[in-house]
Chains A and B, each alone.
Chain A
Amino acid sequence: MKWFHISGAVGVVLLVIGHGMGLFVAPPEAMMGDVGRILYAHVSTAWISLVAFLLAFFAAIGSLWFGRRGWDASVVGFVEVGVVLTALLLFQGSVWARPTWGVWWTWDPRLTTSAILLVAFTAVLLLRSVIDQPDRRMLVTSVATIVAFVDVPIVYMSIKWWNSLHQDFSSPETVSSYMVTPLRISAFGMLFLMLGFVGMRRRIELIRLEKEWSLQPPPERPAALNLSDEGTQ
């Protein structure tokens, strides 16, 4: 039993409690009725996807700085889970937007930025998948992750100049107190689930990188690079 198994299990339990409360205990939303109950899934996905990309950004800086496999594997974990969460986010948003706004998609800053986030980080994963040299791959992944993350606020601000249709940010202050508790529980559930998945993905990536390293030591400068991960494992 590793820490990420526990984290994932805690996340699932919290998600079940939070969504259960959101579906059966909390009152229906004043304007949207029962459709508004997607809030508990949608808002927590949105928050945690951004948390995943933020942590990917810090892991990428660490990977660039220390050049160790552990950091590299963390970047992969956070980016992959972030991409999955962003895809889910866009899907949930479309499902919700159809009955509420009457459209599946609109060119609102937050929607457009999420879509761009999704393609930008998918491209990072694609780029990573075609590089064979381990040290080069680590470097390229971290640089591409940093640049993609720095771009997010700029994309958001530039698209904001268009008219915005999206709800204001949902924060505990803008939501009725009956809805805050299930939202908080769902968000923490999503956070623990995300960390659990990232931990698992990181472990898989580390094993893969170690195997790659032991199978084919690169012919040039094998000793000069400090790629071992003994300290962190």
Chain B
Amino acid sequence: MSVLVQIAWILQKDLLIEWRARSRMFALVSFALTTLLLFSFAVGPDTKALREHAGGYLWLALLFSSTSLLDRSLRVEEESGAMDSLLLAPTSPTAIFYGKALSNTLQLVVLGVIALPVTLALCDATLTGSPLVLLAALVLGAMGLAAPGTLYAALTARISGQQLLLPLLLFPLIVPALLAAVKATTLVLTGDPMEQSGSWLVLLACFDALYWSICGVLFGRIVET
């Protein structure tokens, strides 16, 4: 089997697992929405401030939910030694990484698409830019969270009772992706007179390219030991 076919199989397998455990996804969506609601409470009923920072709230809600999502995607493989069986199948570790990272990206995008209208409603924001730019920011931003997140979830999956470690490792790392994604999203929501959102998206794409390649190489070393 070529690597591409293997990636497709891993992606299908992971999405199927998530689909069969839909209640977990539902819990994740509820968590993201609760976080959004709490941001509005924390800022107070200041509509102007809420509108200006809507992009930031959306991404923070996604980021907080992503740790649980990423952690789970690798923890299911540690139960009853599924990862060893996968590797013995034999599946290339590269395929496992890209399959899982793609599955995590897709789930994050779905989460973002659900959380976006809620953010718009809660923060009284409107789409002033192109929805395509917003979708690009969502997909590229989710990719930026998913690749390092999948790698670090693999690093921490075998450690029990240390749920704090994954966000602790991941959050400092994804600052550039978060910054660029928030900037691009905010520009779409509040207007982009200087046409800056394109350059933020390019920056985000560069970050993604770098991390999808480095993490793909390192992942093999982690799961094979």
Task: Please determine whether A126 and B155 come into contact, CB atoms closer than 8 angstroms.
Answer: no
Contact with A along B146-170 (1 / 0, CB 8 A): 0010011001101100100100110
B200 (CB) vs chain A CBs: closest residue: A161
Q: Is B17 in the interface zone, CB < 8 Å from A?
A: no
- For chain B, residues 189 to 225, give those with C-beta under 8 angstroms from any C-beta of chain A: 203, 207, 210, 214-215, 218, 221-222, 225
Question: Which stretch (B38-46, B104-112, B173-181) binds chain A?
Answer: B173-181
A138 (CB) vs chain B CBs: closest residue: B225
Q: For chain A, give the interface size range.
A: 20 to 34
Task: Please determine whether B175 and A116 come into contact, CB atoms closer than 8 angstroms.
Answer: yes
- For A127, the chain B residues whose CB sits under 8 A away are 155-156, 165, 168-169
**Could you count the A-B residue pairs with CB atoms below 8 Å apart for me: how many are there?**
73
Q: Is A25 in the interface zone, CB < 8 Å from B?
A: no
Q: Is B172 in the interface zone, CB < 8 Å from A?
A: yes
Task: Please determine whether A139 and B173 come into contact, CB atoms closer than 8 angstroms.
Answer: no
Task: Please determine whether B221 and A64 come into contact, CB atoms closer than 8 angstroms.
Answer: yes
- For chain A, residues 61 to 110, give those with C-beta under 8 angstroms from any C-beta of chain B: 64
Task: Please determine whether A130 and B162 come into contact, CB atoms closer than 8 angstroms.
Answer: yes
Q: Is A23 in the interface zone, CB < 8 Å from B?
A: no
B204 (CB) vs chain A CBs: closest residue: A158
Task: Please determine whether B159 and A131 come into contact, CB atoms closer than 8 angstroms.
Answer: yes
The residue among A64, A127, A150 with the most chain B CB atoms within 10 A of its own CB is A127
Task: Please determine whether B165 and A151 come into contact, CB atoms closer than 8 angstroms.
Answer: no
Contact of B155 among A135, A143, A158 (CB under 8 A): A143
Q: Is A6 in the interface zone, CB < 8 Å from B?
A: no
Task: Please determine whether A143 and B221 come into contact, CB atoms closer than 8 angstroms.
Answer: yes
Interface class of chain B by DSSP:
helix
Task: Please determine whether A130 and B214 come into contact, CB atoms closer than 8 angstroms.
Answer: no
- Closest chain-A Cβ to B74's Cβ sits at a distance in Å of 13
Task: Please determine whether B155 and A140 come into contact, CB atoms closer than 8 angstroms.
Answer: yes
A120 (CB) vs chain B CBs: closest residue: B172
Complex: A19 Cα to B135 Cα, angstroms: 55
- Closest chain-B Cβ to A152's Cβ sits at a distance in Å of 10
Task: Please determine whether A158 and B165 come into contact, CB atoms closer than 8 angstroms.
Answer: no
Task: Please determine whether B159 and A130 come into contact, CB atoms closer than 8 angstroms.
Answer: yes
Task: Please determine whether A136 and B203 come into contact, CB atoms closer than 8 angstroms.
Answer: no
- For B148, the chain A residues whose CB sits under 8 A away are 147
- For B207, the chain A residues whose CB sits under 8 A away are 154, 158
Contact of B151 among A136, A147, A154 (CB under 8 A): A147
Contact of A143 among B158, B171, B203, B222 (CB under 8 A): B222
Task: Please determine whether B180 and A158 come into contact, CB atoms closer than 8 angstroms.
Answer: yes
Task: Please determine whether B218 and A146 come into contact, CB atoms closer than 8 angstroms.
Answer: yes
Contact of A158 among B203, B221, B225 (CB under 8 A): B203
Complex: A190 Cα to B194 Cα, angstroms: 46
A225 (CB) vs chain B CBs: closest residue: B225
- Closest chain-A Cβ to B144's Cβ sits at a distance in Å of 11
Residues A136 and B225 in contact in the complex (CB < 8 Å), given A127-B165, A150-B214, A158-B179: yes
> CB within 8 Å of B: which residues of A?
64, 116, 119-120, 123-124, 126-127, 130-131, 135-136, 139-140, 143-144, 146-148, 150-151, 154-155, 157-159, 161
> CB within 8 Å of A: which residues of B?
148, 151-152, 155-156, 158-159, 162, 165, 168-169, 171-173, 175-176, 179-180, 203, 207, 210, 214-215, 218, 221-222, 225
Task: Enumerate the 9 nearest inter-chain pairs by beta-carbon distance, A residue then B residue, closest first.
Answer: A158-B176, A120-B172, A123-B168, A123-B169, A119-B172, A116-B172, A154-B176, A158-B179, A151-B173
